[in-house]
C-alpha cells in the first residue's frame, strides 16, 4: 500500500515553526555587569583604535586636527576676550590661561558629541550579535584621549615659552584626567542611548554643548562671576575640573571643595547614565 498522504503545513504553521533569533543580555540587564565588560575588554581596545583610525582616514592634515582645534580656538579667544573684552586671567598670560581650559573642554565636548552618535553609527553590529553595548560609547570616549595627549604636548611647549615649569602639583593631573573621562563617559553614555530613541538629540546636543562651554570657566576665571551667583557655577561639574587643571599646571592653590563637588556630581551622573542606558538597551536592536 502507498504511504498515507501527509497534510500540507499551512502558512500560519510554517510561520510559527520558523526559528526566531533574539539577542539578549545577561540576567543583570538593569545593572552594570562589570564582569561582562571585563570579558569583552579586547573588543573595547579594537573599537577604540578603530575610531582613532577612522577619524583621520582620508583627511589632509590627519592628527594635526587634534592640535589645530584648541590652538585656533585659543587664538580667537585671546583676541576677543583677552585683548578686546579684557577678561582677567588670574595673572596668567591669557593665551596659556585659555588653552589650559580648552584642553579638557575640547576633549569633553568631542567625546560627548562622538559617543552620542556612536550607537547609531554602529547599528549593523548591534542588530547581529550581543556584546555589552556600553563598549561603543566608551570606546568613543577612549579614542578622544589620543587627541587629548597630542594637544597636551602643545600646552607643555607653551608653558616653556611663557616660563612656567611643572611642579609637584602636576601629579594631580592624573586623577583630574580620570575625572574628566568619568564625566564624559557619564554624559556620552546617557545621550547615546537617548539618541537611539529620539534622533533629534543629535540636533539639540551641539547647542547644549555650546551653552555648557560658556557656563564653564574656560574663557574666564571663577572669581570673574559675582559672588552671589558663584555657587551656580560650582554646581557645574566642569568648574572644579578646569580649575584643577590650572592649579596643577601653574602651581596655584587647589579649590578642594569645588573639585569634591565635581567628583560627586560626575560619579552620580555616571551611575544615573549607566542605569538609564541599561534600561534603554533592551530596545536598541528593535528601534535603531
Is residue 133 within 8 Å of 208, Cβ to Cβ? no
Cα–Cα distances in angstroms (integers) from residue 30 to residues 70, 139, 185, 204, in the given order = 38, 21, 18, 27
Q: Would you say residue 1 has pLDDT above 70?
A: no
Nearest to 103 by CA among 249, 266, 205: 249
Query: DSSP code of 82?
Result: I
| pTM of the entire predicted model | 0.84
Residue range 73-103, pLDDT digits in tens: 999 999 999 999 999 998 899 999 999 999 9
What tens digit of pLDDT does each residue of 98-146 get? 999 999 999 999 999 999 988 888 877 877 777 788 888 999 999 899 8
Confidence label for 62 from pLDDT (cuts 50, 70 and 90): low
Alpha helices in the chain, H assignment, sequence order = 11-17, 34-39, 41-55, 65-77, 94-116, 118-121, 123-126, 135-161, 173-197, 201-214, 230-234, 237-250, 256-281, 284-287
Task: Say if CB 108 and CB 82 are below 8 A apart.
Answer: no
Amino acid at each position: 500500500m502507498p504511504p498515507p498522504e501527509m497534510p500540507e503545513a499551512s502558512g500560519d504553521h510554517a510561520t510559527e515553526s520558523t526559528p526566531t533569533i533574539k539577542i539578549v543580555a545577561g540576567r543583570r540587564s538593569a545593572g552594570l555587569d562589570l564582569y561582562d565588560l571585563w570579558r569583552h575588554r579586547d573588543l573595547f581596545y579594537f573599537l577604540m583604535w578603530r575610531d582613532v583610525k577612522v577619524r583621520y582616514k582620508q583627511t589632509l592634515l590627519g592628527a594635526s586636527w587634534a592640535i589645530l582645534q584648541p590652538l585656533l580656538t585659543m587664538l580667537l579667544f585671546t583676541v576677543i576676550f583677552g585683548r578686546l573684552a579684557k577678561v582677567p586671567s588670574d595673572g596668567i598670560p591669557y593665551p596659556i590661561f585659555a588653552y589650559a581650559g580648552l584642553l579638557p573642554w575640547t576633549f569633553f565636548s568631542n567625546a560627548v558629541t562622538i559617543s552620542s552618535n556612536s550607537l547609531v553609527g554602529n547599528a549593523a553590529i548591534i542588530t547581529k550579535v550581543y556584546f555589552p553595548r556600553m563598549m561603543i560609547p566608551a570606546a568613543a570616549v577612549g579614542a578622544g584621549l589620543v587627541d587629548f595627549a597630542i594637544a597636551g604636548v602643545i600646552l607643555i611647549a607653551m608653558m616653556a615659552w611663557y616660563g612656567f615649569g611643572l611642579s609637584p602639583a602636576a601629579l594631580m593631573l592624573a586623577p583630574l584626567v580620570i575625572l574628566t573621562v568619568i564625566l564624559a563617559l557619564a554624559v556620552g553614555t546617557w545621550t547615546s542611548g537617548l539618541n537611539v530613541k529620539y534622533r533629534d538629540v543629535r540636533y539639540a546636543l551641539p547647542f547644549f554643548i555650546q551653552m555648557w562651554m560658556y557656563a564653564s570657566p574656560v574663557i574666564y576665571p571663577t572669581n570673574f562671576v559675582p559672588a552671589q551667583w558663584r555657587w551656580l557655577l560650582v554646581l557645574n561639574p566642569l568648574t572644579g575640573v578646569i580649575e584643577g587643571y590650572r592649579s596643577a599646571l601653574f602651581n596655584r592653590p587647589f579649590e578642594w571643595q569645588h573639585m569634591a563637588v565635581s567628583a560627586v556630581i560626575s560619579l552620580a551622573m555616571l551611575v544615573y547614565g549607566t542605569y538609564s542606558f541599561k534600561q534603554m538597551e533592551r530596545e536598541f536592536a528593535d528601534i535603531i
